[in-house]
Chain A
Amino acid sequence: MTELWDGLVQALHLIVTFDDEVVDIAWRSLRVSAASTVLAALICIPLGGLISFRSFRGKRLLINVIQTFYSVPTVCVGLFVFLMLSRAGPLGGLGLLFTPSAMVVGQALLITPIMLGLTISALSSVDKNIRDTTLSLGASERQAIWAIIKEARFAISAAIVLGFGRAISEVGVAMMVGGNIRGFTQILTTAIADEANQGNVELALALGVILLAIALVVTLGVNLVQQRR
């Protein structure tokens, strides 16, 4: 138990003293996960709108597949992106492996199924009459989808927050495609794994507390925006 307590104390100390290395790691974590969340949202919201708006053969099957990928192991996504970006892989020429960009792409890929699936279910819970109303008022398909997205904005922002949560808390992708290079691709989760392996339990715990603090701030921020209606 003393390790837990010591960890908390050390976390507070690191936060209060703005330890350079810790701030650097935390800031990188936040940036990478925020970027991957934005990237995933830019894909998931329009795509989810289209899937939910149109009726086509195999729609149910597609949604089932998307939902299945909610539970894809992070290391599997990491391995897939690693193979794509490695020198011999199809995208090897980009030279992205072991860079923060690779981590952004990997995390975005990781959280896309959950964000897409939740966006689709958020949109399908919007009253069907909204769709008919927008069409009858002269909206094009794109305009109608946008209006429906606006109706579901709170449920969609919850999907985005969940995606961010999964991105900032994952280790597998960051480890495999980022490589945990100190000062370059090391983020909070990979640093925690690293420090714990080296026996620095207090520091590992402290980094965990910092990660949760970031999540708390993000959640509070989103709630604040939602309540300001």
Chain B
Amino acid sequence: MSIMQVIDLHQRHGSRETLKGVSFSLEQGEVFGIIGPTGSGKTTLLRLLDQIEVPSSGRVYFEGRDVTGSPRLRSELRRKVGMVLQKPVVFDASVYDNVAFPLRLRRYSRKVVHGKVDTMLNAVGLDGYQRRNARTLSGGETQKVALARALITNPQALLLDEPTANLDPVSLKTIEEFILRFSRENGTTIVIATHEMAQGQRLADRIGVIMEGQLVQIGKPSEIFYAPSDIRVARFVGVENILEGRVTSNREGLVHLDVHGRAVEAIANRHPGDELHLFIRPEDVVLSLSEASTSARNSFSGQIAGLAMSGPLARVHLDCGFPLVALITRQSAEDLGLQVGKQAHVSFKATAVHVIGQ
């Protein structure tokens, strides 16, 4: 069941159009990721979903009713939808008073407030912090207070704007797990905006990619990551190999492409002569020193043009008639004794190649 739906949302801030015709719907209980570069309109979209801002045009439906233009329905929506801002602020008051704030707005009795706040603080791991002034907390603790404060009313939907941007890896894990557990236990719909595509992949059931104010693709994480709908999305979700090629033959869905004079095979239904873009994720490229026997359809030899370590991974740039990047573990890079200028072999499956029209 759809809990929320937006249709053709546009938003102008002065002369700048931050959103251009965004439409989608949110299903009850799902975790929906909005990913996109900074400044692409994620925050504006969340603010419109929570009706803190009014769109310059377009409609927002909540529980089947159009709330745009009705102050009563807008405030009802805000009462049922929680939001944690990108830079969460806490009131200059105790942790207890901060978390109790939404309950007091709704005139719950002192006793009920007390019980709920203590339970919630316990759940986010802030037991014992009740009397601390919230302004004296660390970034991670502040984030937890903001999250507890947004969840204390058990909202139907929770909107999170870069919820873990200022967190260390340990707090990040705790918060992500807490959000997912809360959503599962209470059936809360979660919308999470993040510029970090990996977080979207970890948490979301569905992902929407927003670029320059437009929602360019919506789908399951696997679709977004392995079948991006255009070059911008592909670049953003970490497809480092974007090649151009022309179809030379098509045999029952297995196409041969001419890429810089080399033949590449891919699974697609395209006609000979079609000019296409080929997307290959760098982690799908297998690297070896000798020409190993492989079931992969595509096998090339080339020269190592560059080598960059990043954490536990190594990014290997090869020139095999066309440029290709392979992502392998640092350990295997060392075992293979990879060096710039050395020859190496790469292979990738025909299914690892995603093609779109140019």
Contact = CB atoms under 8 A, between A and B. Distances in A.
A and B: bona fide binding partners: yes
Nearest to B47: A132
Interface stretch (A96-104, A133-141, A176-184, A214-222): A133-141
B89 A130 contact: yes
A135 B52 contact: yes
Contacts of B101: 134, 137, 147
A132 B105 contact: no
A130 B91 contact: yes
Interface string B100-127: 0110011000000000000000000000
B153 A138 contact: yes
A136 B52 contact: yes
Given A137-B102, A138-B102, A139-B105, A147 B91 contact: yes
B334 to A, nearest CB: 47
Interface of A is mostly: helix
A138 B78 contact: yes
Interface of A: 127, 129-130, 132-140, 143, 147, 150-151, 229
B223 interface: no
A173 B89 CA distance: 44
Nearest to A131: B52
Instruction: Indicate the member of A135, A137, A229 with the most B CB atoms within 10 Å.
Output: A137
B315 interface: no
Contacts of B50: 136
22 contacts: A127-B89, A129-B85, A129-B87, A129-B88, A129-B89, A130-B91, A132-B47, A133-B146, A135-B78, A136-B52, A136-B78, A136-B83, A137-B82, A137-B101, A137-B150, A138-B75, A138-B78, A138-B106, A140-B105, A143-B105, A151-B92, A229-B133
Contacts of B133: 229
B82 A133 contact: no
B195 interface: no
B52 A132 contact: yes
B91 A136 contact: no
Interface in B54-107: 75, 78-79, 81-83, 85, 87-89, 91-93, 101-102, 105-106
A136 B92 contact: no
B232 to A, nearest CB: 30
Interface string B243-264: 0000000000000000000000
A208 B153 CA distance: 57
B85 A133 contact: yes
B78 to A, nearest CB: 5
Nearest to A229: B133
Nearest to B101: A137
Interface of B is mostly: mixed
Given A136-B52, A139-B105, A151 B91 contact: yes
Contacts of A143: 105
A108 to B, nearest CB: 29
Contacts of B277: none
Contacts of B92: 150-151
Interface of B: 47, 50, 52, 75, 78-79, 81-83, 85, 87-89, 91-93, 101-102, 105-106, 133, 146, 149-150, 153, 159
Contacts of A137: 78, 82, 101-102, 105, 149-150, 153
A136 B82 contact: yes
Nearest to B87: A129
A132 B91 contact: no
A11 to B, nearest CB: 41
Instruction: Indicate the member of A133, A134, A135, A151 with the most B CB atoms within 10 Å.
Output: A133
Contacts of B52: 132, 135-136
Nearest to A151: B92
Contacts of A133: 85, 88-89, 146
Contacts of A127: 89
A150 B90 CA distance: 12
Given A137-B105, A151-B92, A132 B149 contact: no
A150 B87 contact: no
Given A132-B52, A147-B101, A150-B91, A138 B85 contact: no
Contacts of B153: 137-138
Contacts of A151: 91-92
B82 A132 contact: no
Nearest to B152: A137
A150 B133 CA distance: 14
A181 B243 CA distance: 95
Contact of B85 (A132, A140, A150, A229): A132
Nearest to A144: B105
Contacts of B149: 137
Contacts of B102: 137-138
A137 B50 CA distance: 10
A33 to B, nearest CB: 30
A229 to B, nearest CB: 8
Contacts of B106: 138
A134 B50 CA distance: 12
